[in-house]
Amino acid sequence: MSGTNTHIKEELLSRIAEGDGKAFTQLLEEYSGLLYSFVVRHTGNRELAEEIVQDIFTQIWQTRESLAEIRNFRTYLYVISRNRIVNEIKKAARERKKHKEWMESVYAAPEEDRSATEQQYSLIDAAINRLPPQQLKVWTLNRREGFTYQQIAASMNISRETVKTYLQHANTSITKYIAGHLEI
Within a domain: 98? no
- For the domain that residue 128 is a member of, what is the CATH number? 1.10.10.10
176, HSE (Cβ side, Cα atoms, 13 Å) = 8
- Least-confidence region, from 7-16, 28-37, 137-146, 153-162: 7-16
Within a domain: 173? yes
As for how many domains the chain has, the answer is 2
Q: Confirm if 48 and 35 have CB atoms less than 8 A apart.
A: no
Residues 54, 46: Cα–Cα separation, whole Å: 12
Domain extent for 9? 3-90
What residues contact 79, with CB distance under 8 A and at least 6 apart?
none
User: Tens digits of per-residue pLDDT, 100-143?
Assistant: 887 777 666 565 566 667 777 888 888 888 999 999 999 888 88
Same domain (yes/no): 114, 82: no
User: Tens digits of per-residue pLDDT, 62-109?
Assistant: 998 988 888 888 889 989 999 988 888 888 888 888 888 877 776 665
Same domain (yes/no): 84, 12: yes
- Of the three residues 25, 57, 90, the one that is the final residue of a domain is 90
Within a domain: 152? yes
| CA distances for 98 relative to 93, 94, 106, angstroms | 9, 6, 12
- For the domain that residue 14 is a member of, what is the CATH number? 1.10.1740.10
Same domain (yes/no): 128, 162: yes
Same domain (yes/no): 60, 137: no
Residues 103, 165: Cα–Cα separation, whole Å: 30
Same domain (yes/no): 117, 84: no
Residues 128, 14: Cα–Cα separation, whole Å: 47
A 10 A CB-CB count for 29 gives 9
